[in-house]
Amino acid sequence: MEIVIATRNEGKLQEIKELIKGLQVEVLSLKDIPEVPVVREGGSSFRENALMKAEVIASFTKKVSIADDSGLAVDFLKGEPGVYSARFAGEDANDGENNKELLRRLEGVPISKRGATFRCVIAVVTPEGKKDIAEGECRGIIQFEEKGEFGFGYDPLFFVPEYRRTFAELSPEIKNKISHRAKAMEKLRVVLKEYLKTEKTSVEKG
């Protein structure tokens, strides 16, 4: 079965590929389908954005499509940056600029008030319109400076108390066991296995 991962974010793509490893699927990304339409994330929630992307891509490609919308919700900032995580410092901001903006907004805020949650919603939509949603989250603390070489996005600032490391200091193997995306994908693997089982049954009957 071919599955389209509806992202152009290389870091996100590699994480999802790793998390569905072992399933009998061929993974395509939006880079493999250059003519695919660009989907603007105009929703007010991660769930809305993930579904919107998956629906558009499934309809266009006629393949099972997976879309992830995720981001950081900082307690002190009343849930910001939230759905604006990828463009917190501006529409075309990169990871470094977003991290600087987050540190600026938290300047002078003590560690006791820098709690945050990484949230992930993954939607899978079939060409026939069947939809499933999986969600995951991970609690942490926003550090005062970036640390670590791994990961992407806010990973260098997101400190996980249980490991005494930021996401960017953890190896990809460890991060892919505890992250918000890992928890969502663990649930989604169950859904994908059912899809594969249904497809196999259909082929055998045909």
Q: Which residues does the annotation mark as catalytic?
A: 69
Q: Look at residue 86 and give its three-state secondary structure.
A: helix
DSSP string, 164-195: TEEGGGS-HHHHHHHSHHHHHHHHHHHHHHHH
Q: CA-based angle 89:112:115, to the nearest 5?
A: 45
Angle between helices 180-205 and 10-19 (to 10 degrees): 60
Range list of β-strands (E), the chain: 2-5, 26-29, 64-74, 115-125, 131-142, 158-160, 165-166
What distance in Å separates the CA atoms of residue 181 and residue 148, rounded to the nearest whole number?
Answer: 19
